[in-house]
Amino acid sequence: MDTTTIERYGDALYQALIERTPIDPLTDREPEITIEDAYRIQLRMIQRRLDAGETIVGKKIGVTSKVVMNMLKVNQPDFGQMTSGMVFNEGEPIRVDSMIAPRAEAEVAFVLKHDLMGPGVTAADVLRATDCVMPCFEIVDSRIKDWKIKIQDTVADNASCGVLTLGGMRKRPRDLDLALAGMVLEKNGDIISTSTGAAVQGSPVNAVAWLANTLGRLGIGLKAGEVILSGSQSPLVPVVAGDSLSCSVGGLGSTSVRFI
């Protein structure tokens, strides 16, 4: 795919974000689009956000569960970049009308104290490089109409990043077994799902190692101070104004988010 086309689609996704008006799937318009093309489109979309004054604050891993992999007919996760404009404080209400079709997912966030540069990063390297972990919510959103996405669509759309909130206790990852730590997700007081960290590539630590190695092959590193979202441990939960969600993770406490 040539540079002009890459920029055109990246700009279209950025405008969809700003105007909150979704566009048709890129895979319908460009049946031969590759995942490499999609990542180039993602970079263009992100560059538009940086040009508008935002900064990179971290990375996220998407498509980590078997359910979503099967839905998109892929056998690997994807990744996106998080910017300063995506971060909300815990307890700060999120306006549903600031997005297109938001869906919430609960996961564990890593905050790095050292850089990680793949390839060759191991789970032990991730543990050494991590300052702390905590529960978080990512509110994903799709600039693709009706969430009719294939893997290339969500990659181009910055892995369907929306906004995120961080909460709970901050702990060193060596102080608990993240693979066995149980997570309970509630919506409006009702339990929606239960899981353990093993649902994410065997452990959230493995997911972060995968991300470091995948990005490393592209010449991109994970930086000290960045927040890394390790992938959803819950189903995608559609939300509307008035909803509130909470998740608790064994050993990390709980965090919540509400929508107006």
pTM of the model: 0.94
Higher pLDDT, 70 or 254: 254
Q: 88-122, pLDDT tens digit by residue?
A: 988 899 999 999 999 999 999 999 999 999 999 99
> Which residues does 52 contact at the CB level (< 8 Å), separation at least 6?
none
Q: At what angle do helices 35-51 and 3-19 cross, to 10 degrees?
A: 60
- Residues recorded for the chain: 260
Specify burial of residue 212 (Cβ count, 10 A radius: 0-12, 13-18, 19+). Answer: buried
DSSP-derived 3-state class of residue 111: strand
Domains of the chain: 55-258 (3.90.850.10)
Q: 7-64, pLDDT tens digit by residue?
A: 999 999 999 999 999 999 999 999 999 999 999 999 999 999 999 999 999 999 987 7
Beta strand pairing status for 130-140 and 56-62?
A: unpaired
Half-sphere exposure of 192 (CA within 13 A, CB side): 20
Q: What sign for the dihedral angle of Cα 137, 101, 1, 66?
A: positive
